[in-house]
Amino acid sequence: MTSQVGLLILAMAMIGFLLVFRAHFAVFIAKGDSMLPGLQSGDLVLVDKLAFRTKNPERGDIVVARDRDELIIKRVVGLPGEEVELRQGELYVNQHPHSEKYAVEPGWLNLGKGRLLENKYALLGDNRSVSRSVFVHAVASKDQMLGKVIHSLRLRPRWLGSSLNRTT
């Protein structure tokens, strides 16, 4: 009898933990090459869904956001009211080169400058070597952001990457 009560308490505790975990966190799979070198297609990312309830996204945050009918994983590179531009793979904020403190895949990608409206954030992939036809950037409101990526897990070694199907 005592062992049954113990198992019941353990099962209830696990259910409670899972409910709390699910309310606070989400797990997504990265797709495509736009976030290389930091994230590659197939990586699992853990997202804090409550990260932006009490504070605003910051430059450098990696976020999961809704864009049209899709979910995207991108980095915040521009804040409300700023003018953002990409010249030959280099980020400019308010017409000044911005030193990015995270790894980017160098390239020659250009994106014309534009000023962000109130509550709008510029999102950009870290891979600047992709072609212009590949989706690498977006403008999103805080409401479109599902949360902040707080951890990633690579499920397969890099050396396997070239032999598997990869989507962009």
Where in the sequence numbering do the catalytic residues fall?
Answer: 34, 74
Name the one residue in this structure whose structure tokens are 């531009």: 85
Structure-token pair, residue 140: 């999103």
Structure-token pair, residue 86: 């990409």
Give the C-alpha separation, 81 to 76, whole Å.
Answer: 14
Give the C-alpha separation, 62 to 97, whole Å.
Answer: 20
- Please name the helix (run of DSSP H) or strand (run of DSSP E) that holds residue 137, with its range, or none: strand 137-141
| Residue 43 near residue 36, CB atoms below 8 Å | no
